[in-house]
Amino acid sequence: MELKVLHISGESHYQGGERQLSYLLKMLRHPVHHEVICVKGSRLENFCHDHDVPCHAYKDGFFKRFRMLALILKATKHGRFKILHCHDSRAHTGAWLSFKKIPILIHRRASHRLSRTPLNMLKFRSKRLQAIVCPSYHVAELVSEVVHRHEIIRVIYSSIDNGQFAAHQRKGQLRKELGLTGNKILIGTVGMVRPRKDLPTFVGIAEILMANNLNAHFVIVGEGADLDDIKQLIKEKNLQEHISLLGFRSDVPTILPDFDVFLLTTKAEGFSTVILEAFASGVPVVASSVGGLTEIVEEEISGLLAQPGNPQDFVVQITRLLKTPKLSEKLVNNAQALLDKFEADRMAKKYKKLYQQLAEKY
């Protein structure tokens, strides 16, 4: 019997959660029938169209929550769906407001404590909420402080399609695009340009390393609300020739192997699939010692860790990495040995089992 799942997304950007959803849509076609509610014109909607996934899109803007709710009510009118799978807080609110007697499964990816607002207390105490999936034990612990039905909290690590990244070798495409010659070191990051990612620290690291005459270039791949502020900061520090802002790129698997160091300066993180992508691409990682990152990056085993918000500490770790090729090789080899644990196909099988367990209750 085909199991029908309605996925709900409230994000207009294509972030980690939307990427995880795309893996589920591709890898869990049978015996699951997926349909998606998402923002009109988003990359998630485009993905659904490209992969023949039924998609119901609503316009972004001030009334987006009401438009989302209207689509949920319409889609669930005839009782076709067995599960409402909510991929963010807005989606959870919409599913809860629909008052449909359908099990709700939500993702909680945020690395901060769940606020005890009246709305949250109502949403998270609803009996229709049957599963809270967290991408790391760090996030699960934060959720358990507020949600006392610990049996509904599950940890399913976010994952990647390892083959998609391992298939690409360093071809020099990005270096050629940037006009980099010789043995110039390429240090980069990938992700949303938002306050939590703390890209001012990334810029501060570049400033120190350039002052130390490191023959390097830096790249930031991603889009977001803070992009103009980061551009201004780079200009103020006169680093325009040394830091390239590349915006959103659909060819990350191709350009990532060109990095000599992958740098993640985030102040808080529930998990990070982009670190897994760096692992799969054979790029050594230096990351903030925060949240769920420490469940992926183990100091001097699979990567190097630095104090968040401390550019000098990052500089020390990057310098160690660049001066010790054997350390870099060791980290890359150990990191790649971990990837089976984070394979998207394994994640999809866990969701299939969870869907079946939830459906059997109703």
Closest CA to 75 of 83, 324, 310, 43: 83
H/E run at residue 339? none
- Residue identified by tokens 């071809």 is 171
Q: CB–CB of 170/138 below 8 Å? A: no
| pLDDT confidence of residue 63 | 93
- Residue identified by tokens 């190097």 is 304
Helix intervals (H) in the chain: 16-27, 43-50, 64-75, 89-98, 118-125, 137-144, 162-166, 173-178, 199-211, 227-236, 252-255, 273-280, 311-323, 325-337, 344-360
Sheet of 285-288: strand order equals 243-247, 216-221, 185-190, 261-264, 285-288, 304-306
- Give the Cα separation of 238 and 178 in Å (integer): 18
| pLDDT confidence of residue 315 | 98
Q: For residue 185, which phi and psi values (nearest 5 degrees)? A: -80, 135
| pLDDT confidence of residue 53 | 96
- In Å, what is the CA distance from 157 to each residue of 20, 140, 336? 10, 11, 16
Fold for domain 162-341?
Answer: Rossmann fold (3.40.50)
- In Å, what is the CA distance from 50 to each residue of 25, 44, 71, 255, 345? 12, 10, 21, 23, 20
pTM for the whole thing? 0.91
| pLDDT confidence of residue 12 | 85
Fold for domain 3-159+343-360?
Answer: Rossmann fold (3.40.50)
| pLDDT confidence of residue 1 | 65
Comma-separated ranges of CATH 3.40.50.2000 domains in the chain: 3-159+343-360, 162-341
Amino acid (1-letter code) at residue 73: L
Q: What is the DSSP letter of 341?
A: G
Q: What is the DSSP letter of 229?
A: H
Q: CB–CB of 262/317 below 8 Å? A: no
Question: Which residues does residue 55 pair with via DSSP β-bridges, in sequence order?
Answer: 36
| pLDDT confidence of residue 187 | 98
- Give the Cα separation of 48 and 21 in Å (integer): 10
| pLDDT confidence of residue 67 | 96
Closest CA to 184 of 322, 307, 31: 322
| pLDDT confidence of residue 166 | 73
| pLDDT confidence of residue 240 | 96
| pLDDT confidence of residue 65 | 92
Chunked in runs of 10, what are the mean pLDDT values of the chain (362 residues)? 91 84 89 94 94 96 94 94 95 94 93 89 93 96 92 95 79 91 93 94 98 97 94 97 95 94 96 95 96 95 98 98 96 95 93 93 74
Angle at 156 between CA 306 and CA 225, to 5 degrees: 55
| pLDDT confidence of residue 152 | 96
Sequence-distant (6+) residues with CB within 8 A of 95 are 8, 72, 84, 86, 104, 106
Q: For residue 5, which phi and psi values (nearest 5 degrees)? A: -120, 130
